[in-house]
Amino acid sequence: SSESGQKKVTLALLDAANDRDPVVQEQVRKSILTLGNQQPDKVLSMCQDYLLKHPKVSQSVSLKYQHVLRRFFKVLYVLSSNGYIKSVIQLASDEMTKSKEVVPEWQQAASNILVAVGNKYINDIMEEILHKFQPGVLPHFFVVQTLANLSDSNVYGMVPFLNAIMGTMLPMLGMTKQDNMKWVFSSALCHFSESILEYLANLDKAPDPTVRKDTFSSEIYSAYDILFNSWIQSRESKLRLTVAEALGSMSHLMAHDKLEEQLPKLLPTILGLYKKNSEHYIISKSLCQILEASVNMGSRVLETQIDGLLVALHQQVSVSFTRYLSNTFPDRLMVFVLQRLENSNERNRMGSLAVLRHLINSSTSIMETKRLLILASIRQPLADHSNKVKKRVVQVISAMAHHGYLELEGGDLLVRFIIQHCALPDNYHRPPDPEEVTNEALRSMCDNTLHLFTTTVGRLTDVLWPMLLCYLTPNQYANATTPLCKSLILLANKKQTAQEPNFIIDFNAQGVNAAFPFRCRGHGAPSLSLLHTISTNIHPKAEPLWENEIPKLVNYLEGLLKYTTVMYFLYRCIGVILQQCYNKELVRKQLQEILISTRHNDAIERTGVAMGIGLCASSHLDGTLEKLEEFGKSDAFRKASGIFGLLKDKNEVDVEKMKSTLILCYGYVALHAPEDKLLTRIDSDILHNISKNFNTKCVFASLYMCLCVCILIHSVGLIAKAISKSVRKQGYLFSRKQELMGVMMDFIKAEPTDVMRTPVRYLVLTTCANLMYPTILNLSCVHLDYCSFLFKRFISTLNLVIFHNLGALVGRLAPRCTDPNPEVRRAAIDCVYRLMYIQLRYEGFSLDYKDDSVEGLLDVREKLSNPDHSVLYKTCSELTKIISKRLPQQQLSTLLFMLYDGLVDSQSNCSRASSVILNTLLKNRGAGLQDLVPEMLEVLHNRLQVIGEEQVKMAIGQSILILATQHLQTVVNTLVAYPLPYDSWSCEMWIALGADSTLALQIMEMIIEKLNVMVPYVDKKESMLRPGLTKVATSQPLAMTCALREMMLSGQSADAVAYLFPKLFSALLVRLGSSVGVQLPKDLNNICVSLCCVLRVAVEALRILLGRAQLDTVMKPLDQEGAWDKMKDPQQHTTGVTLLSRAMAKHAGPRLPAIVESLCPSLCNIYECQRITVTAFFSELLNHHVVTELMILDMLMNNMMERITDTCGTVRMLAVRGLGNIAVGSPEKVNKYAKELLAAMSSGMEENDDPGKLITLEAMSGMSKILLYLDQKNVHLLVENDEIRCASIMLLGNLSKFGSGEPVFKDQIHNVLVSLLLHLSDPNPQVVKACKYAMRICAPVIGSEQISAMFQNHLLEEKGLHHGEFINDLTKYLIQDFPGMLNFYHITVIQFFKSNWAEIRASAAMFIGKKKKLFYSIF
């Protein structure tokens, strides 16, 4: 039967499993798997029976079956019945534990089967496994291994068992002696922890969502205790690594307080493993997990370990940790990395660059504010000579390119670096070091990088094009030509395909002049001639082509100078020259020459002549008008039989074109004429002469000659523009305006209605707008009726694509909707109504189409009849919403800038309406105007200077707020860039930004972040004649400080200031420190320095901050004690900061913890002036008990201890002062920190780099304060401290240099003389040397020549001393020279009988004996 056949086949396959050929073995396994897929129960049963019937079969054969079973179970266990599964579990379990010895392959295969089955039948598996995992008995190795693997493969099934499993396992850990069992337990704990974490991360899928991390915390910590305190010390490296890996996973499950407690020991231990193991990946992985757990719980201890972590990990060039440290300590990490970049050591620099690259790639948002700092710091590695370092630099630049760094100022230097190294020469001698980076390898890398910039970094396209062209011709980049050309071809193709406008290169901007043949003394034609001559050197095929073409080009260029484009330019140049000429006769002659020699039939030349004569008129108006009138009466015009006779006789066309030139000249004369003279000459000289040269009736008879018409319209438009500028400053009634408006309207009526074949209609509308503007401030309804008629006429005749003037016209008309005259209001709204329908026609709507929103303007018109101001402005807002809805985006900017002009309208109603319309438009449509924000702010800045209406000023402030809400970064960047010192209008703009507390909060946070990372000053050499460098302030931080000062002047900024007070105070205090001794940039030195002194700005900002925060009690003592002036004085700066700190401690205590926390990172800054200021502030805080009450004493103490080793002497002195102040502010804490305080004072007294002995004096002062509160135990510590004894004795010797001749000092020397003599027997050799030194220096002060000689001759530091003889001789001289001191010496010596050192006690006894013996022998 088929069933028996299948059985035979299966048995045959099982027998064949031991075939020697591996191909056969693999095929057997596949066949068994295939059979099992069809009949799972039967095949499983047969495999099980086979193993049971062949118990003595070799392990290699059974092992193969185990592999088959394991693979089989992974696919088919879902199809099998539970009865067979239990028997298979039993079989696999027995096979796994049959041998007590570890047989890896055999037992691992059985374990794998159990794991495979456990993916579904976890309860059955656990029932079997837990029988072999009993309390008090060490389990089989593979029992533990199987539990570990099960927790990986079936997380949701295993985690509910883990609490019980770990409870059973914990006692076993203490019983384990063998390394392999320690290894498997550690591995299991690692797997268990990871499974628990996965379970907790996916509780929504878990069978028991009530499971919490603290369920396992106790067991995990107990296991941690054994692994960390015992097993990690093992000599076996594999075990150490596994334990480390387990500790990393377990750290996430430890209770927060336990992990916090263990971190100071755990982190150094893990870091120490780097030195003991060659395999670093597992250590780094474990460390990352520990750091992640610490950061997640908000560890405070981690901050104290950060320096050690950074140093150790930097040596390993381990970048994974930066993900956690950069999120938590971004400033400290960045300062650390950038400082290491300054180290020229190759290995250090390579490591720093690797970490920097990782930071740029993985921490984009955090690095956003530090991009300029990174760009500045990367410059130093650019100059490194090592190719290895250069390779890392290229990798960093590549990362920076993808994150927008190369688009910033300074990014071009990085592009240049890449191109420089694309041009590297070959290495002629191969480096012996196989790890060395060759020039060829580095060059290839730079080629690829440049190619990647071109193809994959889309944002760089506008950076590279056309900049790369500049590198094609310089000789030093010749070797980079190939990659440059490839990149340029790709960029050009990309831009050409996208039809980008900047594909066309402005060679003028690029400094490439070859495209301009008339430059450089007309180098175009000679250059072509040279190419013609050397054509065979360029390419053989170029010669026949160039032989034919180049001579034509040369002839063309040589003749082109006579043509119009050049003449247009030359006529304008002549106009500028005549403008500066004082010889009136010469001016008249030149004007005559110009008018006679002009080719009047050339439109471009005609325009050039008119513009030149107009420019001349700006200085010679009377002479120019006289010459034009004279020319109009000359013989050249006598051929015309009528005013416009050119239409009757073709021979007279040239005469009429001369008249056109004359008409255009009058237009430009009006445009450039002095404003104070123009208005008196408009009617009598300019318009009168234009009308003499133009006959309207004749023109209308033959309108096909539209050129003359267009010139007349253009000229009238220029005159209208000129009048509009002059009328703002002086009153003027333009009497002929209505006449000209009528002429313009006649021109439109004469135009064909079906199609626009000429530009007449467009020119007429533009001119009408200009004609209306001079009286727009006092518009009558007549003017607006003209407009309404024009627009109505225009609707039915238009046939253009775009309505270019919609924005300008609406901008002029909309504010008139609130005019005091109701007729003007009605006419204005009618005009807007017509304009909206014109726009709809442009958009393709039919003439009879009615738009609901535009029809709403008729309702608005009715409301405008109400003269109440509030109703008018509300209605004006409704009008704006309709305009906003229908206005095309491309017209919006024109409308806005017209409204900016309306802000200075003499009618207050209309200027206010302009502001209402403006702000409504900005709210509705401002989000899409980012590119215009800088220009809009500049216009608002200019308008503020001339606006007197307070309500309009407030509206401008509201406009700035609206723009900032939509484009915050752009607004801030633009205002910060305004020239310093800020004028009053710039200040008003910043104050306006402070009026919205939410926005002010965002801006202040932005400025604080930038102040914390920006370079505050640069060191510059002031003069070649003067040595040393001068600190010069950088502009941006100075500007941002000014901005903060102005914003805080706004009363509405109080909420933002209150919320950000600690950060603001810290940032401004650090900025204050950065400003000490810093000069203004050269471009500001000529401006009133008192307005913008660097230090003054910071002090004022800090003062305003305290006032805005309502800290009057802090400000009062500062004012009384002159603290602000002291802060500004570089010599008294620290005194001023001390007074500030004292006032804050006394009157603003609750604010201090957050301030201190914000200031701490500044103590690690590279700028010592900042460290000095912050240390001075902290030092004084320690003088007050409030720091203990606020629990910030530990933080301050730790920071002061770190500053003891600062490179700056002033910082060290202030740190010593601060530590001494603890005895005043918190005397009860002196004994707690006794060891650290005494060590610090000792270090201060030993200070070598202390020219003024200021550190030494502070240390002495601090020691005297501390000694008052030391208890007996710590006094003992003081005495036993070798360093303190040594430092004290050395200090005594040094001080004696300054005390010679002083009786008081002589007495002090005698007071300590016995102590010095006895300590010559001190067990510490350094103390003995210090005693010898001090006694030699003090010898002249003692008052005995014999004793002085003894000290100088015998107490040499490197020379031995026979102590007994020395004391014997010295005692003799003491008795002879100082008999009155003998009793004092005697009492002093007796006190040393209780010394802790036997040597001192023995020396004291000998001294007493010698003294008594000699005393009795003498007396």
* Predicted local distance difference test score (pLDDT) of residue 468: 80
The backbone torsions φ and ψ at residue 1031, rounded to the nearest 5 degrees and listed phi first, read -80, 120
* Predicted local distance difference test score (pLDDT) of residue 77: 41
If residue 657 lies in a helix (H) or strand (E), which one and from where to where? helix 653-672
Q: What band does 363 get if pLDDT is binned at 50, 70 and 90?
A: low
Alpha-carbon torsion angle 383, 387, 391, 393, nearest 10: -10
CB-based burial, 134-152: b 16+ in 10 Å, e otherwise? eeeebbbbbbbbbbbbbbe
Q: What is the mean pLDDT of the chain?
A: 77
* Predicted local distance difference test score (pLDDT) of residue 190: 93
Give the pLDDT mean for 891-896: 81
The span from the CA of 1213 to the CA of 759, in Å, is 82
Q: What band does 1310 get if pLDDT is binned at 50, 70 and 90?
A: confident
Q: What band does 773 get if pLDDT is binned at 50, 70 and 90?
A: low
For residue 1416, is pLDDT > 50?
Answer: no
Joined together, the tokens standing for residue 104 give 């890896």
* Predicted local distance difference test score (pLDDT) of residue 1143: 93
Q: What band does 736 get if pLDDT is binned at 50, 70 and 90?
A: confident
Give the pLDDT mean for 1121-1135: 90
* Predicted local distance difference test score (pLDDT) of residue 526: 59
* Predicted local distance difference test score (pLDDT) of residue 1086: 47
Which tops the pLDDT comparison, 762 or 1321?
Answer: 1321
pLDDT digits (tens, 9 = 90+) for 406-443: 888 778 888 889 998 888 887 755 656 667 888 888 88
What percent of the chain lies above the pLDDT cut of 90? 9
Contact partners, residue 1103, CB within 8 Å, separation at least 6? 1115, 1124
pLDDT digits (tens, 9 = 90+) for 1071-1084: 999 888 888 887 66
* Predicted local distance difference test score (pLDDT) of residue 58: 39
* Predicted local distance difference test score (pLDDT) of residue 1296: 66
* Predicted local distance difference test score (pLDDT) of residue 294: 83
* Predicted local distance difference test score (pLDDT) of residue 62: 46
Q: What band does 1094 get if pLDDT is binned at 50, 70 and 90?
A: confident
- Contact call for residues 375 and 405 (beta carbons, < 8 A): yes
Give the pLDDT mean for 469-492: 77
* Predicted local distance difference test score (pLDDT) of residue 1175: 94
For residue 746, is pLDDT > 90?
Answer: no
Q: What band does 649 get if pLDDT is binned at 50, 70 and 90?
A: very low
Give the pLDDT mean for 168-195: 89
Q: Which residue has the tokens 């992974």?
A: 74
For residue 789, is pLDDT > 60?
Answer: no
For residue 745, is pLDDT > 60?
Answer: yes
Q: What band does 665 get if pLDDT is binned at 50, 70 and 90?
A: very high
Which tops the pLDDT comparison, 918 or 66?
Answer: 918
Upstream peptide bond of 981 is cis (omega within 30 degrees of 0): yes
Which tops the pLDDT comparison, 597 or 472?
Answer: 597
Give the pLDDT mean for 1126-1152: 91
Give the three-class secondary structure for 1033.
strand
Type of residue at 1404: A
Joined together, the tokens standing for residue 365 give 């948002």
* Predicted local distance difference test score (pLDDT) of residue 446: 92
The span from the CA of 700 to the CA of 743, in Å, is 11
* Least confident window among 478-482, 485-489, 776-780: 776-780
pLDDT digits (tens, 9 = 90+) for 1162-1174: 888 888 899 999 9
Distance between the two ends of the chain, CA-based, in angstroms?
Answer: 137
Give the pLDDT mean for 788-813: 60
* Predicted local distance difference test score (pLDDT) of residue 1298: 57
For residue 336, is pLDDT > 80?
Answer: no
* Predicted local distance difference test score (pLDDT) of residue 98: 79
The span from the CA of 764 to the CA of 431, in Å, is 79
The span from the CA of 288 to the CA of 280, in Å, is 12
* Least confident window among 62-66, 125-129, 482-486: 62-66
* Predicted local distance difference test score (pLDDT) of residue 706: 63
For residue 947, is pLDDT > 70?
Answer: yes
* Predicted local distance difference test score (pLDDT) of residue 750: 73
* Predicted local distance difference test score (pLDDT) of residue 1061: 92
For residue 1275, is pLDDT > 70?
Answer: no
Joined together, the tokens standing for residue 287 give 């460390």
Which tops the pLDDT comparison, 755 or 307?
Answer: 307
- DSSP result, 335-395: HHHHHHHT---HHHHHHHHHHHHHHHHH-HHHHGGGHHHHHHHTHHHHT---HHHHHHHHH
For residue 1180, is pLDDT > 90?
Answer: yes
The span from the CA of 858 to the CA of 856, in Å, is 5
* Least confident window among 397-411, 695-709, 1046-1060, 1127-1141: 695-709
If residue 1068 lies in a helix (H) or strand (E), which one and from where to where? helix 1054-1074
Give the three-class secondary structure for 79.
helix
Give the three-class secondary structure for 1030.
strand
Give the pLDDT mean for 298-326: 60
Type of residue at 1271: D
* Predicted local distance difference test score (pLDDT) of residue 1004: 92
For residue 822, is pLDDT > 90?
Answer: no
Which tops the pLDDT comparison, 767 or 41?
Answer: 767
* Predicted local distance difference test score (pLDDT) of residue 214: 82
pLDDT digits (tens, 9 = 90+) for 1363-1398: 777 887 888 888 888 887 877 777 777 777 777 778
* Predicted local distance difference test score (pLDDT) of residue 642: 39
Which tops the pLDDT comparison, 1001 or 338?
Answer: 1001
pLDDT digits (tens, 9 = 90+) for 1044-1060: 988 898 888 888 898 99
* Predicted local distance difference test score (pLDDT) of residue 511: 37
